[in-house]
Amino acid sequence: MALQISGLGKRFGGLEAIRNLSLQIAPGTIHALIGPNGAGKTTLISLLSGFLAADCGNIDFFGKPIQHRSQQERVGAGLVRSFQITSIFPSLTVLENLQVSVQRRHHRGFGFLAAAASDRRAREEAATLADRVGLGRHLQSRGDALSHGMRRRLDVGLSLACAPRMLLMDEPMAGMGHDEADEVVSLIRSLTPELTILLVEHDMDAVFALADRITVLVLGAVLASGTAQQIRDDPEVRAAYLGTEGAS
């Protein structure tokens, strides 16, 4: 198992945000997390990334327990989170964006006098990553000159630069137009099976197009878990969440 969660719990004062949550994610798969607003999806992502500490429960990442590890340690172990709001370096070029993220892994020190342009390994890896996310022909474009969809792809690229084994993606489709969303969907699908992905999303088209398995979260607990078809057909899920939208 890439990720094994058992009995996870989190309280905020009187509010129990996550209740006795258990979940498994197989390596190389895309696992989607859906549920109504306030169900605890973002809280769960924060607990997994290490931004928040759980009150109880276990999180095993590729067999190793990580529930007491810091954010930086989890990133080092390969568990990387990407954010809802695209977060890039606007006035740096695509190449520089990726290079600065990659060089962290390659070098220990500050590199005061080591020319960035001569850092061949980092540049090559950055260029490869750019290709990976479809920005290979825009290496010299500034971050702020890119369209919304391209920025999102660059953002994914920055997450990939941390050499993750698993990505926690929090609403990657947010604010995307139809064509842009398609591109991001293709990108995400292309990341597997090398990467494992846990995806929080409201865009049902993207969810059903991508997810190998879906978990429905309601009021901090798992309501149902299964394949896309199973979730679509589940009457409880329909009542609680898909409701009148229906599964198209």
Partner 1 sequence: MLTKKSQSALVWIVLFVALACFPWLATWAGQDFYIGVVIRIMIFAIVASSLNLILGYGGMVSFGHAAFFGLGAYAASIAVVHGANNVWLVWTLAAVVGGISALAVGFVATRTRGAYFIMITLAMGQLFYFLFVGLRQYGGDDGLRMPTRPALGFGLDIASESVFYAVVLIWTLLMHLLLARLVRSRFGLALEAVRENESRMGAIGYSTRQYRVIAFAVAGVMAGVAGALLAMHNQFVSPKMLHWSQSGTLMIMVALGGMGRLHGGFLGAAVFLLLEEVLSSYFSYWHIFVGAILLLVVMVSPDGLAGLGRLFKRKAATPVDEGHAP
- Do 95 and 130 form a contact (C-beta atoms < 8 A)? yes
Respond yes or no on whether the N-terminal peptide bond of residue 172 is cis (omega within 30° of 0). no
- Do 2 and 25 form a contact (C-beta atoms < 8 A)? yes
Determine the Cα–Cα distance for residues 168 and 196; give it in Å rounded to an integer. Answer: 9
Determine the Cα–Cα distance for residues 237 and 223; give it in Å rounded to an integer. Answer: 7
Q: Which is nearer to partner 1, 130 or 200 (CB)?
A: 130
Determine the Cα–Cα distance for residues 238 and 212; give it in Å rounded to an integer. Answer: 19
Q: Which is nearer to partner 1, 68 or 104 (CB)?
A: 104
Non-local CB neighbours of 165 within 8 Å, separated by 6+ positions: 2, 62, 77, 78, 79, 195, 196
CB of 155 to partner 1, least distance (A): 9
By the criterion CB under 8 A, which residues form the site for partner 1? 71-72, 75-76, 81, 87-92, 96-97, 99-101, 103-104, 107, 110-117, 119, 131-138, 141, 143, 145-147, 149-150, 153, 158, 161-162, 179, 183-184, 186-187, 190
Q: Which is nearer to partner 1, 49 or 215 (CB)?
A: 49
* Helix 94-106 vs helix 120-132: crossing angle, to nearest 10: 120
- Do 158 and 88 form a contact (C-beta atoms < 8 A)? yes
CB of 13 to partner 1, least distance (A): 26
Determine the Cα–Cα distance for residues 187 and 182; give it in Å rounded to an integer. Answer: 9
Q: Which is nearer to partner 1, 114 or 239 (CB)?
A: 114
CB of 102 to partner 1, least distance (A): 9
CB of 73 to partner 1, least distance (A): 10
Q: Which is nearer to partner 1, 199 or 216 (CB)?
A: 199
Q: Which is nearer to partner 1, 60 or 182 (CB)?
A: 182
**H/E element, 41:** helix 41-49
CB of 145 to partner 1, least distance (A): 5
CB of 83 to partner 1, least distance (A): 8
